[in-house]
């Protein structure tokens, strides 16, 4: 496929140098993260980044650079890019805002204008509370806008992993997103686009040591109740040893779709250290009933995969952690190796 020439609005300057120049000159820095082989990225290069209103704003008030995930992977990872296309704006050397998935010229132009009018950087906690209240009140358009902003921008929060925001994004926020996309077709469309954008970015990193885009893709498959896509991907790579690290890293997210599909032996091969996985499940599932259900899945998978010693160790540790009769009965009733 013939590549689209880089739009003239983007300077031929390394990201780090552009960051220094923009901060020193009091300019915004607009960063377009792209993949030449992706149709949405190509469409933005062909149209969005060539429209007069967008180019004029950038020429007057910003520097703009473009990053290709295939050639600038380290920069993309440093910016915690989880989808392409993604557009990120910095001010005074600090992350200000980002949008992911295809944006036409009108959308980008309106977004840039809102940045100018903003008096202070939005507070994540206030945004989270506001989105939740809008969802509870069935103000679905407002909730969609709020949750899309959170999904896009939490990766840009200072210390997003250390402060727990990325954990919130991948756990507590999920039930709200599932409810929203079930109730509101425009939300389903918006998060489908974000899922597809992460699916475009993931292959560039699956064979590296960073799996953020793949995690997003898996999580959004769950949100959208489309985990058949997860199973299709898993089945296509599970026999390829090159993909062992990404499968191991994402294993917890694969449990539910594999269980739903009765792929017990595949479950049993997911975890190199089942006792460590059991400890993670104990930490993650505070409700005893949920913990027992997950333990049974792990135990049944290990037996189906012929890992009898590991299965025995998991059973003994599970009973130590939860010595109730319910845990013992659940393990006794686990699907057998032949399943």
CB 58 within 8 A of CB 9: yes
pLDDT confidence of residue 4: 76
96-127 pLDDT, tens digit each: 999 999 999 999 999 999 888 876 666 889 99
Residue 280 has pLDDT above 80, yes or no: yes
Rg (CA), the chain: 22
297 within domain boundaries: no
CB 44 within 8 A of CB 28: no
306-323 pLDDT, tens digit each: 999 999 999 999 999 999
- For residue 177 the two structure tokens come to 């997103």
Residue 3 has pLDDT above 80, yes or no: no
Instruction: For residue 35, give its domain range.
Output: 15-117
pLDDT confidence of residue 121: 67
CATH number of the domain where residue 84 is located = 3.40.30.10
77 within domain boundaries: yes
296 within domain boundaries: no
What's the chain's average pLDDT?
94
pLDDT confidence of residue 335: 86
CA angle in degrees (0–180, nearest 5) for 259-262-264: 80
pTM, to two decimals: 0.91
Q: How many domains does the chain have?
A: 1
The mean per-residue pLDDT over the stretch 206-224 comes to 97
Quote the CA–CA distance of 50 and 326 in Å, as a whole number.
Answer: 64
103 within domain boundaries: yes
pLDDT confidence of residue 119: 63
CA angle in degrees (0–180, nearest 5) for 287-289-291: 70
12-62 pLDDT, tens digit each: 999 999 999 999 999 999 999 999 889 999 999 999 999 999 999 999 999
Which residues, other chains included, contact 80 with Cβ-Cβ below 8 Å and sequence gap of 6+? 155, 156, 160, 212
330 within domain boundaries: no
Q: How many CA atoms lie within 13 A of 233 on its CB side?
A: 21
Residue 339 has pLDDT above 50, yes or no: no
126-164 pLDDT, tens digit each: 999 999 999 999 999 999 999 999 999 999 998 888 889
199 within domain boundaries: no
């Amino acid at each position: 496929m013939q590549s689209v020439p880089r739009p003239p609005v983007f300077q031929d300057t390394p990201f780090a140098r552009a960051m220094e120049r923009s901060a020193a000159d009091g300019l915004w820095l607009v960063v377009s993260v792209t993949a030449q082989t992706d149709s949405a990225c190509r469409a933005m290069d062909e149209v969005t980044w060539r429209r007069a209103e967008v180019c004029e704003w950038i020429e007057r008030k910003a520097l703009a650079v473009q990053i290709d995930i295939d050639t600038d992977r380290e920069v993309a990872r440093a910016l915690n890019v989880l989808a392409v296309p993604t557009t990120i704006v910095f001010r005074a050397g600090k992350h200000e805002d980002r949008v992911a998935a295809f944006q036409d010229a009108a959308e980008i132009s309106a977004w840039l204008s809102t940045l100018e009018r903003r008096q202070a950087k939005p507070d994540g906690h206030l945004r989270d509370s506001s989105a939740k209240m809008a969802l509870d009140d069935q103000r679905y358009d407002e909730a969609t806008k709020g949750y899309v902003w959170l999904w896009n921008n939490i990766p840009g929060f200072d210390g997003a992993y250390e402060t727990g925001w990325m954990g919130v994004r991948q756990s507590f926020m999920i039930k709200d997103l599932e409810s929203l996309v079930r109730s509101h077709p425009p939300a389903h469309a918006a998060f489908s686009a974000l899922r597809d954008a992460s699916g475009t970015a993931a292959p560039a990193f699956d064979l590296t040591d960073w799996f953020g885009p793949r995690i997003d893709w898996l999580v959004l498959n769950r949100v959208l109740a489309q985990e058949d896509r997860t199973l299709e991907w898993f089945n296509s790579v599970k026999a390829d040893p090159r993909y062992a690290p990404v499968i191991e890293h994402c294993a917890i997210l694969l449990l539910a779709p594999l269980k739903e599909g009765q792929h017990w032996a595949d479950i049993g091969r997911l975890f190199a250290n089942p006792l460590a996985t059991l400890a993670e499940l104990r930490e993650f599932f505070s409700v005893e009933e949920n913990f027992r259900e997950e333990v049974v899945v792990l135990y049944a998978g290990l037996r189906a995969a012929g890992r009898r010693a590991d299965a025995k160790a998991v059973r003994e540790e599970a009973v130590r952690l939860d010595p109730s009769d319910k845990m013992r009965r659940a393990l006794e009733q686990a699907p057998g190796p032949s399943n």
